[in-house]
Structure 1
Amino acid sequence: MKWDEMRKSDNVEDEREGSSSQAPVGMLGGVGVGGAAIAVILGLIFKVNPAQIMGFLPNNTTAPVTQKHTQPKNDRDSDFVRSVLGDTEDVWTRIFQQQLNTQYQPPKLVLFRSSVNSACGSAQTSSGPFYCPADKKVYLDMGFFQYLQATAGADADFARSYAIAHEVGHHIQNLLGTSGKVRQLKSSSSKTKANELSVRIELQADCYAGVWGFNTAQRGLIGDRDVETALNTATQIGDDYLQKQATGNVIPESFTHGTSQQRVKWFKRGFSSGDIKQCDTFNTDQL
């Protein structure tokens, strides 16, 4: 992946030095349920012992979360994130103009370590990358990304890019009003129906990540190996795959992100077409 040839974004805030830990409700021994899931996922993808990853995920103290907004440091991790984010900005600016006849408003991206405050509440490494619609920001814990780099080397680059592009996909849903409509529908739906809506919005974000990948591949910045890595990642973060690995059982009505097959299907749909209009996961019975 030729990320060093991408334009670096200025829409990055570095809060790594100002971050500290604060254990929220639901934390188990300092690492949340989400952290355990991350350990399993990384162990499966990169063939390492999940216990090693659990040891890497930070233990949490009761110190309050503080934040310090600074310009990103010129280290490889921040350069990588700025480059991928800049490329998503270029791609989506062009798509919004050409396909939607409107102006793209890029999100801010916040780098943090261990924990962070957002307009959607506090979060930690165990939350994984996430998007907050209330402040239109993507949040990335760089300790998690550094571990990916140390474990998988160059093979981690597009997997990390895929994660960023997916969260930017949620930002696009916010801009287009999709996420707001889904939140409203979920508030008056049964748990099973709400889970189905969650699956549809996650699969659409996967498709949007594929659309970005199509445009980036067209410029020769990613290759077949990068795409293979992304598809492998998508395969191993499907709800069915993770449930089967964790418990030996699969409960479809509890899915919130989609099956492995669905995640691969919708990423490939965006990647093969480059057309945002091909990512309508809400008006189809064939997820």
Structure 2
Amino acid sequence: MSHSVYYGSQITRSQFGSNNLARAVGRLPALKTVTLDYNTIGNNNIDIKLLINKNITSLVTMDLSGNSLTSLGQGTFQNYQMLQTLILDKNKIQYLSNETFIGLSRLKNLKITGNQIDEIENGTFKPLKQLQLLKLSYNQFTGDTDGLIKNLRFLSELSLANNAIKSLVKCSFCHLPNLTEISLQNNIISDIAEDAFYNLPNLSKLKLSKNNIAIKNQPFEALQSLKELYLDLNSVGNFSNKGLSPFRNLKKLEVLYVNQTLFTNHFTKHTN
């Protein structure tokens, strides 16, 4: 099945789901949005070679989710310099190199969820100067977040949920001053350095549910704009002898989940 929306005599949006029609993209020089989800696009077939070699400067959105990509080579998308949204969910990608996203200086949204990524080379996202949304959930990543996402100054939403991250070291996110939301739920995080969330003046939502966290210090002290904090299904009960001291400096906090217990309105209301 294919679907196209026409503006004048030029095709600007095409959807080729569940077909082998990637080769058609190269014949549409005015294309702005292309959805090629759930095709048979893989690293060794003609479709990916045709995509890489085409120079469609008008393309703004590309969806390659649900295909069979296992890796992304050097400059895979460098001919799509106007691209703003790239979706690579539900492939079989295992590794991202620092040359994968060369040329995508206008990209704002990148989604690579549900792959098998266990290694991301430092500097991989460096070319993405305008990136605002980065979703890497449901992978196998275990590494250092600071080296991974350093200096993405416009990034506002980051999801690393459902990976295998074990700890958050000092300054894990301190080069991301415009972050408003971080999702880290369902990892295996046990330790959070006291300065892990330093220099995040705009962070309003932090999701840490379903980890192995036991609060031992004041990891949230610097989060003066935080409104929602999710810590349910952890080991945070270990701080019970300290009362709610790890959260006392969070003057704007409105919602706090701790072990399936919800505290709202600056702890004045308690709901089971």
TM-score w.r.t. the length of structure 1 is: 0.24
More helix by proportion, 1 or 2?
A: 1
TM-score, structure 2 length as denominator? 0.25
Q: If each structure's strand is expressed as a fraction of its own residues, which one has the higher value?
A: 2
Which is greater in Rg? 2
Higher relative CO (Cα under 8 Å, sequence separation at least 6) belongs to 1
